[in-house]
Structure formats: C-alpha cells, structure tokens
Structure 1
Amino acid sequence: MNDLSVVVSRTFSAPRTKVFEAWLDPQILALFMQPCEGGPPATVTNDPVEGGDFEIIMRADDKEIPHRGVYKEINRHSRLAFTWESPFSLPDSVVTLDFKDVADGTELTLTHVKFPSEESRDGHESGWTGILAALMPALAESKAA
C-alpha cells in the first residue's frame, strides 16, 4: 500500500527562516523530535547538505527509536525533503516540508509518503502532529539560549 500518505499543516508565529533552520540545527531538532510530548530530548547527528545524512534517536519510556535519512532537497527557507527510515516506515519513505509566509508568521506543510500499512500511516500522522506541536516551544527555547 505505497499510496498511503500523511499531510499535516501548522502555522508558527515565527519567521520562515527560523522555522526552516530549526529542521537543520541538531540542537533544536533534539528538542522537538520526540515520540511523546515532554519526553527526553532526542540524540541528533546530521550533515545538513543535499546528499548528507542524519540520525535521530528518539526516546520513549526505556526504548530508543532510531530514525535515519538522507537530505534529498534543501531549498533554503521554502522546501526541505528527506528520506525517512524508522522501524515503522518503508525504506523509500520520503518527508517533504513546505514553508510559506503567512500573515501570522510561517505555514509549514509536512507531507510524508509511503507506509507499509494504514496503522503505520495513522501512527506517523499522530507522531508528526505531536512533533509540529513541540516545534513552537523548541523555537522559543532556542531563542532564550
């Protein structure tokens, strides 16, 4: 069932450049790439160039959940696309982030394609929704640091 996809949008009261760069900064990524709200920070390593790779180790309870991928497109401040390998997705799964200026700040639309099942897709939809919800506090925290 490779035609399954997730689309999640959210508006952030922050400039597009700041929202975009948060997805490439390992310190900020660690704050919002979490499987559940208020969890411990992830461990993030990345090479944020097209063709570069990343690894994000999320933590939930006593488990570590590894995520890896390769940056396919980095169009500064408008589009970011990367492969997404996790225990719950297909190897050729791709996440695309589109960033757009809106009156209140930045609209971010996340599209994730290719899942092994509807259950996996639904789990990712919930996960990405939580991650986007955690992004705004992470942006605020990074400003204070």
Structure 2
Amino acid sequence: MSASPEHLYKAWTKQFDRWFAAPETVSMEGSVNTPFFFETRHEGQRYPHYGRFLSLEQDRLVEMTWVTGAGGTKGAETVVRVELETRGSDTLLRLTHAGFPDEESKDQHEQAWPMVLEQLEKVLAAE
C-alpha cells in the first residue's frame, strides 16, 4: 500500500468511518480490550460488526476479534490480524482472518477483503 504504517494503523484503530463503516455508526477507542462497533451498508441492508482489540503495536500490528451477524461470520467470533511492514516508500499490509464457522463464511470474506483494502488505499491516497 502507498500509505505509511502510521496512517494505516490509525485507519484500523480510530478511523473506520473514513474508509469502511457507514457514517456515524462507529464506536471505537482503539486500545487493547476495548470493544468496537460499526455498521456497513450495502443495497439497503445494514450489517453490524463488533469485537474488541486483542493486541496493538503502534504502526506495526492490529489484532481484533470480528463478529458479524447472519451473513458475515454468522455470529461466530473470528480474529483479524493486520501486520504492517515498511517496504521502501510503501507499506506491506498482511491481513489474516481466521476462525470461520464454515467454508461459506470463509469464502465470502476471502472475496470481500481485497475490495475493502482497495477502498482503504483509495481513501488514504486521496489525503
């Protein structure tokens, strides 16, 4: 990604409403063991997401639980891990999402994350 680790870390811990969540739906402090909540909206439907931060290393690591309703993780608590590493003038962002209740949920997220990360790249590039 072309954004710095600092900007990416901030986006993942304090600014979900700038690139992922629906406006005015985010409750997020960005510190370990604090819960978060936000909604996404697609084709008139609301999709709540919630969890808590498990591990944070400034500008290097964000690890959080991730729960969505019927469509996403089907209520199962999964774990998202985002690792950030400087690579020249860019940042390598490695996202791992584990603990899905079934293959369907895993496949849906595997297809969705690239689009979500593309949106993050666009928003941060416009700064």
Q: Return the TM-score normalized by structure 1.
A: 0.78
Q: Distance in 2 between matches of 1:42 and 1:94?
A: 24
Q: Distance in 2 between matches of 1:115 and 1:42?
A: 28
Q: Return the TM-score normalized by structure 2.
A: 0.89
**Are 2:67 and 1:82 aligned?**
no
Partner of 1:126: 111
> How far 1:31 moved relative to its partner?
3.2
**Are 2:18 and 1:31 aligned?**
yes
> How far 1:91 moved relative to its partner?
2.9
5+ residue gaps, structure 1, are 1-11, 35-39
Counterpart code for 2:77? D
**Are 2:125 and 1:136 aligned?**
no
Q: How many residues align?
A: 124
Counterpart code for 1:16? P
Which of 23, 26, 30 is the equivalent residue of 1:44? Answer: 26
The alignment partner of 2:110 has SS state of helix
The percent of aligned pairs where both chains have the same amino acid is: 27
Native 8 Å contact 1:49 1:74 kept in 2 = yes
Cα shift readout 1:24-72 (whole Å, capped 9, x = no counterpart): 123xx123226xxxxx657221121101111110001111000001000
Native 8 Å contact 2:79 2:98 kept in 1 = yes
The ranges of structure 1 where at least 4 consecutive aligned residues each deviate by more than 3 angstroms after the TM superposition are none
Partner of 1:116: 101
The alignment partner of 1:77 has SS state of coil
Native 8 Å contact 1:31 1:42 kept in 2 = no
Cα shift readout 1:6-25 (whole Å, capped 9, x = no counterpart): xxxxxx11211111111112
Q: Distance in 2 between matches of 1:125 and 1:42?
A: 27
5+ residue gaps, structure 2, are none
Which of 6, 26, 38 is the equivalent residue of 1:17? Answer: 6
